[in-house]
């Protein structure tokens, strides 16, 4: 079962375009995994500092770093940021190699990020950056200062802004993580009413809906790469036999 692979991993890396994205695409899962001894890291590519109606980008970035720390503490995970500019996240090789270095450092079996079918440019960029980062991290001849590492699985979480052609391959039971996720999400002003979008209502209903389909109280949905990706990732492993 997919839960055995996820919750039996040593390390999971979740990459979000903005602080709070990782929390909604994999927050409940992160809590459950961490409670089972998995090292979970959230990487916020940007802090999402453009999203406040009153605060300057500098002040809101500082606020969101505090919020990210409180959320991570509640979930029992680690977090870091690349401090890339919100709304201008570059989808280039330099950014992908920066993420690849973090992949080599944290050595996750599982990497989770945005689905590419999104109207949000930063989310599309994040999806491409992570896919390229996994490729770069796996290349044994690419010198990034750390040994090469190829994750076993690349997953794409469900986000209300990334719903174009999103078809889940897995529904993962995250029931024990729901209440901790809700507490963690509410550390963010964004979830407490800063935005007109009702984040808590939406994701609470979504996780419950996915749970109904999974046969559990709550679940999260994930898409994945085609079978050819798994075959391709093995190109850098020792020959079988």
pLDDT band, residue 1 (cuts 50/70/90): confident
* β-bridge mates for residue 156, sequence order: 113, 223
Q: State how far Cα 104 lies from the chain centre.
A: 16
In a domain, 124, yes or no: yes
Mean pLDDT over all residues of the chain?
96
Per DSSP, 19 falls in state T
Residue 98 near residue 82 (C-beta atoms within 8 A): yes
Could you identify the residue written with the tokens 């029931």? 175
Q: In this predicted structure, what is the pLDDT of residue 229?
A: 78
In a domain, 151, yes or no: yes
- What is the arithmetic mean of pLDDT over 9-27? 98
- What is the arithmetic mean of pLDDT over 81-97? 98
In a domain, 127, yes or no: yes
Whole domain around residue 38: which residue ranges?
Answer: 2-233
pLDDT band, residue 239 (cuts 50/70/90): low
**pTM (2 d.p.):** 0.96
CATH number of the domain residue 160 falls in: 3.40.50.10320
In a domain, 175, yes or no: yes
Q: In this predicted structure, what is the pLDDT of residue 234?
A: 62
In a domain, 238, yes or no: no
In a domain, 239, yes or no: no
Per the structure, how many domains does the chain have? 1
In a domain, 47, yes or no: yes
- What is the arithmetic mean of pLDDT over 136-161? 97
In a domain, 190, yes or no: yes
- What is the arithmetic mean of pLDDT over 184-204? 97
Q: In this predicted structure, what is the pLDDT of residue 237?
A: 63
CA separation (Å) from 114 to 16, 127, 197, 220?
A: 7, 5, 19, 13
């Amino acid at each position: 079962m997919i839960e055995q692979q996820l919750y039996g991993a040593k390390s999971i890396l979740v990459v979000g375009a903005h602080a709070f994205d990782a929390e909604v695409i994999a927050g409940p899962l992160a809590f459950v995994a961490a409670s089972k001894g998995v090292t979970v890291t959230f990487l916020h590519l940007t802090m999402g500092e453009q999203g406040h109606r009153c605060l300057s980008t500098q002040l809101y970035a500082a606020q969101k770093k505090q919020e990210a720390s409180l959320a991570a503490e509640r979930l029992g995970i680690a977090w870091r940021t690349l401090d890339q500019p919100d709304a201008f996240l570059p989808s280039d090789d330099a950014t992908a190699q920066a993420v690849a270095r973090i992949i080599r450092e944290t050595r996750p079996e599982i990497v989770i990020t945005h689905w590419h079918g999104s109207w949000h440019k930063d989310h599309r960029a994040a999806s491409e950056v992570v896919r390229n980062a996994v490729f770069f991290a796996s290349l044994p001849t690419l010198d990034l200062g750390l040994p090469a590492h190829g994750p076993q699985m690349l997953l794409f979480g469900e986000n209300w802004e990334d719903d174009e052609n999103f078809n889940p391959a897995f529904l993962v039971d995250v029931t024990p993580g729901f209440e901790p996720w809700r507490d963690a999400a509410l550390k963010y002003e964004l979830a407490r009413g800063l935005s007109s979008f009702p984040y808590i209502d939406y994701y609470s209903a979504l996780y419950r809906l996915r749970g109904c389909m999974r046969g559990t109280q709550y679940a999260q949905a994930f898409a994945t790469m085609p079978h050819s990706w798994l075959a391709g990732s093995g190109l850098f492993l020792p020959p079988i036999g």
